[in-house]
Chain A
Amino acid sequence: MVKMTLQGGLIYLTLVLFVATAAAARGGWRNIARGFWAAGFVAAVASVTWRGLHTGHPPMQNLFEFFLCMAAALWPLSQWSRWRNGIDTDVQDAVLGALILFPAGFVFGEEVRRLPPALQSPLFIPHVGSYVAGYVMLARAAVMALPLMRTATDAALVRQADAAARQTAAVGFVLLTLGLLLGSVWGKICWGHYWQWDPKEMWSLATWMMYAGYFHFRLKNGVRQPKTLAALLWLGLLFVVLTLTWINLSRLFAGMHNYA
């Protein structure tokens, strides 16, 4: 559904700026692309801030708000990658941002729902925030692993792409762990038990296990099988996407996480 509101306007502005970033970079105008990219970040932050002011609670209650937060988290993480790994991921991140914002702009509704008692907790922001940043990092790790898919890449490039992907995935893994543990502690405080066998818990644990498998595999085999490494990171991302979409939206997985 198209949103004819200030919120919608901010989302569409961000979307346009993200797409413009990718287009300008494709056209060879690097500095203009960086300008668009930074402006897109400002628009994404404005969109999250407005949502928070408008609803009167931290904008992390449902998928709509979760996706807005993910889009705002992209730019700083992208800057960090350039500083840390010497890899320019502006274009990939801008495309990722557009993919993330598309459902927020055109699929999810923007109804305001006040916080039920179960969500009124100091752990609300840390638990959801860890997952926002963690999922973004894991998506970026998969994108960074793309060069590993190519046949006949030179060894130095493979090493660089592998290092960047692994480091990004490691940060994502820390955030995933933090989100899972904080969620568990919150579950104990709110629902009475730290593990409820809730479908979303099980899928989140499965995602965590997939990345644990990747790290063991990488430790065992090094970069001898670059394609498998890339495939594992994409498989992990598939779990993230399923956890975010299918598990949240399907009635098959009704459980304790039914706030969204």
Chain B
Amino acid sequence: MRLFFNRLTNLGVASWVCWLLALGSVALAFPGPERSGAFMARPVMQGVTAVLAAALLFCGLRALGRRRPDSALLHAGCACVLAGWLWGQHAVRTATPERPVNGSMAMVDGEVSDTLWSGPYLTNYVGRVSFTLKLERFIVEYYDQNGADRDAGRMPPVREYRSRVTVTEPDKAPYVANVRVNQPLRVQGYHIYQMSWGQTSDRMGRPMVYTVLQFIRDPGLPLVYAGFALLFLGTLLFTVRVFRVKPPELKGVAP
């Protein structure tokens, strides 16, 4: 086992591992996000990722032994990110209807719900969250119409989507909050996103606008973000180290 990791983390092998990962990454760019994501969610690929994370951790520890803190941070950071992702994937596999990790609700103004759904038409029951959301109002704001819009005879583009909701958590006073694109709401471990919207009609045939809010819970996220911090710090220190090497003085020579 030790020999295996020693071999895998040998510097010469490490460049090849990097190039191989680059190739794999390019290969996963072709099938598109859904199929690539599903491929990486397979148990085999989770296993490969786990081995890679262990090898990276091994590299980090060895770099620490060689007094190379930049390399140690970099590799440990990568290992953290992968471990955090694996943790998140584990949470997806072990999710229950009592504590779901990912689901959406479509709501019209005034609707109250605590139920999450999935699927292209949000028809598959996922589970319930421990708080309720009431949609006070869904608002779509447009940019002012300019000359180009008038010439083309079109609506100006959307400036903002916003869902005003009242959140009722158990044992807490209800409060009003806004969910916008780029501004998710955080409630009881869930991020709530303004994901989509659409038009439908009520029983009388009058048009109604609905909003789609997506709920995501990822217990691995803190580990991933910690990994990001380590990784970036390591890269910075690495560059500082590269710059300590003074280049030979050869002024005036064009490359």
Contact = CB atoms under 8 A, between A and B. Distances in A.
A215 B11 CA distance: 10
Interface stretch (B19-27, B115-123, B200-208): B19-27
A136 B169 CA distance: 50
Interface in B229-255: 231-232, 235-236, 238-239, 242-243, 245, 247-255
B40 to A, nearest CB: 7
Interface in A205-245: 205-207, 209-210, 212-217, 219-220, 239
Contacts of B28: 197, 202
B181 A117 contact: yes
Contact of A210 (B12, B19, B191, B235): B19
B11 A219 contact: yes
B65 interface: no
22 contacts: A87-B253, A87-B255, A91-B254, A113-B157, A117-B159, A144-B255, A157-B253, A163-B247, A173-B235, A177-B235, A192-B191, A197-B28, A197-B34, A199-B30, A202-B28, A205-B25, A206-B21, A209-B18, A215-B238, A220-B14, A247-B29, A253-B30
Interface residues on B, range: 35 or more
A199 B255 contact: no
Contacts of A198: 33
Contacts of B221: 188, 194
Interface of B: 11-12, 14-16, 18-19, 21-23, 25-26, 28-30, 32-34, 36-37, 40, 85, 143, 148, 156-161, 180-184, 191, 193, 195, 214, 216, 218, 221, 224-225, 228, 231-232, 235-236, 238-239, 242-243, 245, 247-255
A156 B232 contact: no
Interface of A: 84-89, 91-92, 112-114, 116-118, 120-121, 143-144, 146-147, 156-157, 159-161, 163-164, 166-167, 170-171, 173-174, 177-178, 181, 184-185, 188-200, 202-203, 205-207, 209-210, 212-217, 219-220, 239, 247, 252-256
Contact of B25 (A147, A166, A184, A206): A206
B255 A256 contact: no
Contact of B251 (A86, A114, A157, A209): A86
Contact of B255 (A116, A164, A210): A164
Nearest to A25: B254
A212 B30 CA distance: 22
Most A CB within 10 A of own CB, among B16, B182, B193: B182
A170 B11 contact: no
Given A160-B248, A170-B238, A216 B18 contact: yes
A110 to B, nearest CB: 12
A190 B161 CA distance: 12
Contacts, number: 164
A202 B12 contact: no
A-B pairs, 8 with minimum CB distance = A213-B18, A209-B22, A163-B247, A202-B29, A117-B181, A206-B25, A197-B36, A220-B11
A231 to B, nearest CB: 12
B232 A202 contact: no
A203 to B, nearest CB: 5
Contacts of B239: 170-171, 173-174
A170 to B, nearest CB: 4
A191 B158 CA distance: 17
B193 A117 contact: no
A143 B255 contact: yes
B32 A202 contact: no
